């Protein structure tokens, strides 16, 4: 079979133009979706009387056979075609002869490719949501198993206040929950079938677009054919959502990289998600965390790249849009692998309490407790802040923690301090006093663990 568009051309493409423009090596990944689109379109043609019932059955059977051949890798690549659409059409024609030439009636590669892409991305988003659930659950389990571990919380990467390790892990459960919601939003908005838009103006044939949508699993059809073939919003929305998700994974990666350094030694990452050095035999490198952190930039770059491509395009289809798929395939692979690694890596994290407790002895982690103690004694907060700063300087001079200062020494700074200061200068007291909704108090963390388990129905796992 010749090219799909060669009738008005005297010369074929130059070799360099072929190398630049042919996309079969990239979009062959859409074979399953493209066959599904051709199958649905064939049924619509038969219903409209453009094909006889027997012709429709023959084409559908051919497409089914072709899908089975692709699935078992019987069909070798590369194929000598411009793209996956022309490849499948050629193979159908080779199998059933001139009948195969009728299959493309009433559709264009413009509405075909964007329908393929929506189908593929819908599947990938559903998979990402499932993997996010796995990751959230692994974090929830890690939090549940370490509810009594107290660690330093940080601002500016400086020791700030004590928090429960479980509270820290549940912060990421919340972040990934928002990522799930954004992906659900993406799915809802992209649940429209553009097939039947043809090249840009719609089709001359009485195709039942609702039937096409139902056959392909969409809940509705697009309402404007020009928008149907030009719209790449749904890919941009997906990029935006997974860019934020990857940002959250990157933040977690940074913390695990820091925490697993022998300098801190707070956690150990399992052997199955770390690697060694080619020259330093003692090394255990957090490579998976580093790779996820590194790949985050590429996901954001895909969003920026498509944004800048689309912003300069007049309606409707332009060949520039061919570039959306190779980047999309790279992003969905990155997202899937990153989430899969993290969901499996987190259950293998080992927490080391001794170095964490040692870290709590630095940075005057209980300073805010002293300030709040003074406020409850009637001291204005600004004055309490100043007094506590003076107590910190005193402790530095004595090379001790605030809790190790004598009450007599403290009273030289403020006569509001009494023997009951000892009741607040403990890590557990500092934790349990934060008993507001969303706080790090043991009671609140237990409540959040229960709430999240019920919300995500993890009790059924």
Tokens (6 digits) for 53: 């019932």
Residue 194 near residue 114 (C-beta atoms within 8 A):
yes
Q: Within its chain, how far is the Cα of 102 from the centroid?
A: 41
C-beta neighbour count of 5 within 10 angstroms: 10
Rg (CA), the chain: 30
Tokens 């719609």 -> residue: 202
Domain boundaries defined on the chain:
6-105, 110-148+163-352, 360-445
* pLDDT score of 17 more than 80: no
- The stretch 17-27 carries a mean pLDDT of 67
What is the predicted pLDDT for the residue at 3? 57
The CA-atom distances, in angstroms, between 406 and each of 98, 238, 384, 401, 421 are: 97, 58, 18, 11, 10
Global confidence as pTM:
0.92
- Report the C-alpha gap between 266 and 378 in whole angstroms: 39
Return the sign of the alpha-carbon dihedral for residues 27, 29, 33, 37.
positive
Note whether 6-105 and 360-445 share their fold. Answer: no
The pLDDT of residue 203 is above 80: yes
**Is CATH 3.40.50.700 correct for 360-445?**
no
Contact assessment for residue 371 and residue 384, using Cβ atoms and an 8 Å cutoff? yes
Q: What is the pLDDT of residues 137-162, one digit of tens each?
A: 999 999 999 999 999 999 999 999 99
pLDDT in tens, 223-237: 999 999 999 999 999
How much is the average pLDDT of 91-120? 97
Residues forming a β-bridge with 151 = 163
Reply yes or no on whether the pLDDT at 18 is more than 60.
Answer: no
Q: How far apart are CA 267 and CA 253, in angstroms?
A: 13
Q: Where are the alpha helices (DSSP H) in 208-322?
A: 209-216, 225-230, 233-260, 287-310
CB 40 within 8 A of CB 65: no
Average pLDDT over residues 352-376: 96
Report the distance separating Cα 321 and Cα 161, nearest Å: 51
Q: Is the pLDDT of residue 78 over 80?
A: no
Other C-beta atoms within 10 Å of 258: how many?
Answer: 16
Q: Are 118 and 194 in contact (CB under 8 A)?
A: yes
CATH C-level class of 110-148+163-352: mainly alpha
Average pLDDT, the chain: 93
Tens digit of pLDDT for each residue in 28-58? 899 999 999 999 999 999 999 999 999 999 9
**Angle 138-141-145 (CA atoms, 0-180°, nearest 5)?**
140
Q: In whole angstroms, what is the distance from residue 461 CA to residue 458 CA?
A: 5
- Residue 164 pairs with which residues in a beta bridge? 150
Instruction: Average the pLDDT over 371-394 and give the result.
Output: 96
Q: Give the phi and the psi of residue 301 in degrees, each rounded to 5.
A: -60, -35
Q: Tell me whether residue 240 is exposed, middle or buried, using C-beta atoms within 10 angstroms of its C-beta: 0 to 12, 13 to 18, 19 or more.
A: middle
Burial bucket for residue 345 (CB in 10 Å: 0-12, 13-18, 19+)? buried
Residues 70-89: b if buried by 16+ CB within 10 A, e if exposed: beeeeeeeebebbbbbbbbb
**Which of the following CATH numbers is that of domain 6-105: 3.40.50.1780, 3.55.40.20, 1.10.275.10, 3.40.50.2300?**
1.10.275.10
pLDDT at 373 (0 to 100): 96
Region 115-137 average pLDDT: 98
Sign of the C-alpha dihedral computed for residues 104, 110, 115 and 116 taken in this order: positive
Which amino acids are annotated catalytic?
156, 277
Main-chain dihedrals φ then ψ at residue 164, nearest 5 degrees: -75, 140
Q: Give dist(CA 56, CA 375) in Å, integer.
A: 81
Which of 62-76, 176-190, 259-273 is least confident?
62-76
């Amino acid at each position: 079979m010749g090219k799909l568009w060669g009738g008005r051309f005297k010369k074929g493409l130059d070799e360099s133009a072929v190398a630049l423009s042919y996309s079969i090596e990239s979009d062959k990944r859409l074979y399953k979706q493209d066959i599904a689109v051709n199958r649905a379109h064939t049924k619509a043609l038969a219903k409209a009387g453009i094909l006889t019932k027997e012709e429709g059955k023959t084409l559908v059977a051919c497409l089914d056979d072709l899908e089975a051949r692709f699935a078992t890798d019987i069909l070798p690549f590369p194929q000598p075609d411009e793209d996956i659409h022309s490849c499948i059409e050629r193979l159908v024609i080779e199998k059933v002869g001139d009948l195969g030439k009728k299959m493309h009636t009433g559709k264009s590669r413009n509405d075909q490719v964007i329908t393929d892409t929506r189908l593929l991305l819908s599947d990938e988003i559903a998979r990402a949501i499932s993997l996010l659930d796995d990751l959230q659950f692994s974090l929830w389990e890690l939090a549940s198993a370490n509810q009594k571990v107290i660690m330093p919380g940080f601002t500016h990467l400086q020791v700030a206040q004590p928090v429960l390790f479980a509270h820290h892990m549940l912060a990421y459960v919340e972040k990934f929950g928002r990522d799930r919601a954004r992906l659900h939003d993406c799915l809802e908005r992209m649940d429209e079938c553009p097939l039947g838009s043809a090249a840009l103006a719609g089709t001359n044939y009485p195709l039942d677009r609702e039937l096409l949508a139902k056959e392909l699993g969409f809940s509705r059809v697009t309402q404007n054919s020009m928008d149907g073939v030009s719209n790449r919003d749904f890919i941009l929305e997906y990029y935006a959502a997974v860019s934020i998700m990857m940002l959250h994974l990157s933040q977690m990666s940074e913390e695990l990289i820091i925490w697993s350094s022998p300098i801190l030694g707070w956690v150990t990452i399992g052997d199955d998600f770390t690697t060694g050095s080619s020259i330093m035999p003692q090394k255990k490198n957090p490579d998976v965390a580093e790779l996820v952190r590194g790949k985050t930039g590429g996901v954001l770059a895909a969003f920026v790249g498509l944004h800048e491509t689309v912003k300069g395009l007049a309606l409707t289809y332009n060949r520039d849009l061919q570039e959306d798929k190779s980047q999309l395939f790279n992003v969905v692979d990155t997202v899937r692998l990153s989430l899969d690694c993290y969901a499996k890596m987190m259950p293998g994290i080992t927490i080391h309490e001794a170095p964490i407790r040692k870290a709590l002895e630095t940075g005057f982690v209980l300073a805010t407790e002293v300030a709040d103690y003074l406020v409850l004694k009637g001291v204005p907060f600004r004055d309490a802040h100043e007094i506590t700063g003076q107590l910190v300087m005193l402790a530095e001079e004595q090379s001790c923690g605030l809790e190790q200062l004598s009450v007599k020494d403290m009273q030289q700074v403020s006569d509001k301090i009494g023997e009951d200061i000892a009741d607040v200068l403990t890590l557990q007291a500092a934790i349990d006093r934060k008993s507001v909704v969303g706080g790090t108090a043991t009671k609140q963390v237990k409540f959040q663990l229960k709430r999240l388990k019920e919300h995500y129905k993890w009790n059924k796992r």
